[in-house]
């Protein structure tokens, strides 16, 4: 659904039934009145937890009334009175949901989590009530059958196709008995996926590695130790050091800590999240999710969940995905085995005689990198201040598209650490609002993502601007020192900023087709292509400045970065592909899983040929992407889109880094179009041809 105003007739029909008590409630509940804020952003300074439930109740009531009114129209169905009316319905529900889902991910609490559990099955039932409304589907179906004679624009046709397929793919053609089964499955899945995500967050927050001796921190830099000391103080362990399961804490520890036993403790906790046999164990939850997804796919006429998902993806079917994964796995595992050999030799050269384990890989790989390329992450970090990297991303967007970013200090935010920017065209006209939320906290789920508080759409020829947010988990500033990023974190900032540009520069008519409303294996193109600029030597010289001296990153360091560019790509590619294969194995089952999640994963990885020194980037019990994050049978999307982004960046390299004709073509045919055109067609319009995978192979050193 979208953020537009509901149809006037529907507004009138609901206005007469608002009582005095409801009017008073509306005045007190910011969701039930027009936002009186700059640019119409959510009034976070007024929104309280207790506002969500009554707002949802009213939103569901309104949306139900709107849908019933559309279904009950006696006139013949038309695009305007049915498809457009459905598109315009549910504006309050959309508004509340955008705020609630974002806050639940980035600054949750027990009250929000409890409401999330309560709402999940209710919202699933509400969606089913629309998708399985026979009277409503009849109207949509009749329009679909005569679509070619209606004189619709290409965007109207796409909205009609999306609407029709949504009904069919959500069970509109099923018998009453099968629809009842589908409703039950959807309710269960809504509850289970919510539980899965909450379990991971609880387990992530529960663990603390408390270190009491400075001797145990050998190998760690002063800033890492200072950050751990601040974490300890905040958690009531003053005078000690605390390391958590946040990536900004655990990964540097595994990379630099000389104490192997402590590395093992932290790794074991990270690896076993939500799989510890306690109340937060996801082992049975995820198996039930996978089995229910199979049951749902079969009910809808698909052999597997993957077939159901990929029907609407750029990949089209599981065979195409498997071909890509297989083609990449062979050279990647060969490179990873060579890297494992080097790591074992490094262990032995250091006078140790143990077999390399997963918690040794990053530590000894870093030692090899320093020896081979004289390159240390700690040597790089002073040049990657958060402010500098963010400005670097802004500058790239300015040079490509002419847009600018103006910091706003009077806009309400949902957390004190959040900053807000107005995004402007070269002529000063308003594009949208951009929130950034960069630091970890216990109320925030792990990872990095882009989301929306309002999606772009057009009303009566007037472009309604989007409100976009980037959320990450970078290490916080320590003392007087600013937040310093690793090179990987700098890439992450550019990546999520690419998603933000996709949402901000959208220029379509219908909200449900705007911005990132594209298939999973295409949505990563705008994000991943930005990483190429983050790594380019010319761009690095412009934004990577020493936080103390202001000096640009030296040419020698850039040369080392380039020399080490494909170092460790065997490991990086294999751990990613392993997760992709695991995802695919869970979602290409043709009969229910009867073994434990641990046994299923073990069998999956043995079949793939994964070596003991590496585990999947996301193991089953904390694999949020596929069990609570919308990427089921779709984790392959990142590598699929990497084929696209490597080829797309080659288009710039063939001309110039900021070639205006190429940038304009990318903006016009990819960033602005959202889901109004099929992804493959959009890409061909930009590039003039299908993507060539050779650029990806070269980029990862697998050619």
The residues that are catalytic are 496
Residue 528's nearest CA partner among 411, 644, 625, 673 is 644
Distance CA 119, CA 515 (A): 27
Distance CA 514, CA 501 (A): 12
Distance CA 58, CA 342 (A): 62
Whether 631 contacts 637, CB under 8 Å: yes
Residue labelled with tokens 């996978």:
290
Distance CA 458, CA 691 (A): 32
Distance CA 474, CA 489 (A): 7
Helix or strand holding residue 209 (H, E): strand 209-211
- Dmax over CA atoms of the chain, in Å, equals 84
Give strand pairing partners of 468: 434, 452
Q: Residue 113 phi/psi, 5° resolution?
A: -65, -40
Which residues does 87 contact at the CB level (< 8 Å), separation at least 6? Answer: 1, 2, 4, 159, 163, 510, 511, 512
Distance CA 658, CA 537 (A): 14
Instruction: Report in angstroms the alpha-carbon separations of 195 from 191, 555, 624.
Output: 6, 49, 11
Q: List own/partner pairs for 124-129 with CB under 8 A and 24 or more apart.
A: 124/186, 124/187, 124/189, 124/190, 125/183, 125/186, 125/187, 126/60, 126/63, 126/64, 127/170, 127/186, 128/170, 128/171, 128/179, 128/182, 128/183, 128/186, 129/64, 129/67
Helix or strand holding residue 51 (H, E): helix 49-71
Helix or strand holding residue 409 (H, E): none
Which residues does 327 contact at the CB level (< 8 Å), separation at least 6? Answer: none
CA atoms lying within 13 Å on the CB side of residue 182: 24
Distance CA 588, CA 553 (A): 47
- Please give the full DSSP string across 546-615, using - where no structure is assigned: -TTT-PBPPHHHHHHHHHTTTTTHHHHHHHHHHHHHHHHHHHS-SS---S-HHHHHHHHHHHHT--TT--
- For the chain, first and last CA: distance in Å? 44
Whether 617 contacts 582, CB under 8 Å: no
Distance CA 436, CA 425 (A): 19
- Helical residues (DSSP H) of 207-282, grouped into ranges: 222-234, 247-256, 260-271
CA atoms lying within 13 Å on the CB side of residue 478: 17
3-class DSSP state for residue 218? coil
- Considering Cα of 618, then 312, then 492, then 192, what sign does the dihedral take? negative
3-class DSSP state for residue 265? helix
């Amino acid at each position: 659904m979208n953020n537009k105003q509901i149809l006037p007739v529907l507004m009138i029909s609901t206005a007469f039934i608002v009582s005095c008590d409801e009017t008073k409630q509306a005045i007190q509940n910011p969701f039930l009145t027009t936002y009186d804020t700059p640019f119409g952003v959510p009034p976070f300074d007024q929104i309280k937890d207790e506002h969500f439930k009554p707002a949802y109740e009213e939103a569901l009531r309104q949306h139900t009334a709107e849908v019933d009114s559309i279904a009950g129209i006696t006139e013949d169905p038309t695009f305007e009175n049915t498809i457009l009316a459905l598109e315009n319905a549910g504006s309050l529900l959309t508004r509340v949901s955008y705020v609630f889902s974002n806050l639940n991910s980035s600054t949750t609490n027990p009250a929000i989590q409890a409401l999330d559990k309560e709402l999940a099955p209710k919202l699933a039932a509400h969606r089913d009530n629309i998708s399985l409304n026979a009277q409503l589907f009849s109207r949509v179906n009749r329009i679909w059958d005569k679509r070619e004679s209606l004189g619709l624009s290409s965007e109207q046709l796409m909205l009609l196709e999306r609407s029709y397929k949504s009904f069919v793919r959500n069970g509109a053609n099923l018998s009453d008995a099968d629809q009842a089964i589908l409703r039950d499955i959807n309710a269960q899945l809504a509850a289970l996926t919510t539980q899965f995500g909450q379990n991971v967050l609880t387990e992530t927050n529960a663990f603390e590695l408390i270190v009491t001796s400075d001797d145990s921190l050998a190998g760690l830099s002063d800033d890492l130790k200072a950050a751990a000391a601040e974490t300890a103080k905040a958690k009531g362990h003053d005078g000690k050091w605390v390391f958590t399961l946040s990536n900004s804490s655990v990964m540097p520890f595994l990379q630099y800590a000389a104490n192997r036993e402590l590395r093992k403790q932290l790794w074991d906790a990270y690896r076993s999240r939500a799989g510890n046999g306690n109340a937060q164990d996801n082992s049975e939850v995820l198996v039930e999710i996978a089995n229910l997804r199979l049951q749902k796919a079969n009910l809808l006429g698909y052999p597997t969940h993957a077939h159901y998902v990929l029907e609407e993806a750029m990949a089209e079917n599981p065979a195409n995905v498997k071909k890509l994964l297989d083609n990449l796995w062979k050279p990647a595992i060969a490179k990873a085995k060579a890297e494992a050999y080097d790591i074992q030799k490094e262990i032995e050269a250091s006078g140790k005689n143990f077999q390399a384990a997963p918690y040794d890989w990053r530590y000894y790989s870093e030692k090899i990198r320093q020896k081979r390329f004289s390159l240390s992450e700690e040597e790089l970090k002073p040049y990657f201040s958060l402010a500098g990297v963010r400005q670097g991303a802004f500058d790239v967007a300015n040079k490509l598209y002419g847009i600018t970013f103006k910091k706003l200090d009077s806009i309400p935010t949902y957390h004190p650490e959040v900053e807000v920017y107005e995004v402007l065209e070269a002529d000063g006209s308003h594009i949208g609002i951009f929130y950034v939320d960069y630091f970890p906290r216990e109320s925030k789920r792990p990872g990095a993502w882009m989301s929306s508080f309002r999606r772009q759409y057009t009303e009566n020829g007037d472009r309604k601007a989007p409100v976009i947010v980037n959320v990450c988990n970078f290490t916080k500033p320590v003392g007087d020192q600013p937040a310093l990023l690793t090179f990987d974190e700098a890439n992450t900032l550019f990546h999520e900023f690419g998603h933000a540009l996709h949402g901000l520069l959208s220029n379509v008519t219908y909200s449900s087709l705007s911005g990132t409303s594209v298939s999973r294996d295409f949505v990563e193109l705008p994000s991943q292509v930005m990483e190429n600029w983050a790594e380019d030597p010319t761009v690095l010289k412009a934004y990577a400045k020493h936080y103390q001296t202001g000096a640009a990153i030296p040419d020698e360091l850039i040369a080392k970065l380039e020399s080490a560019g494909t170092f460790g790509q065997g490991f990086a590619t294999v751990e990613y592909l392993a997760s992709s294969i695991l995802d695919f194995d869970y979602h290409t089952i043709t009969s229910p899983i009867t073994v434990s999640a641990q046994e299923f994963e073990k069998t999956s990885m043995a079949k793939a040929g994964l070596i003991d020194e590496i585990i999947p980037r996301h193991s089953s019990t904390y694999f949020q992407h596929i069990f609570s994050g919308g990427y089921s049978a779709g984790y392959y999307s990142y590598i699929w889109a990497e084929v696209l982004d490597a080829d797309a960046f080659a288009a710039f390299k063939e001309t110039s880094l900021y070639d205006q004709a190429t940038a304009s073509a990318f903006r016009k045919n990819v960033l602005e179009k959202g889901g109004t055109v099929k992804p493959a067609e959009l890409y061909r319009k930009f590039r003039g041809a299908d993507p060539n995978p050779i650029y990806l192979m070269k980029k990862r050193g697998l050619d």
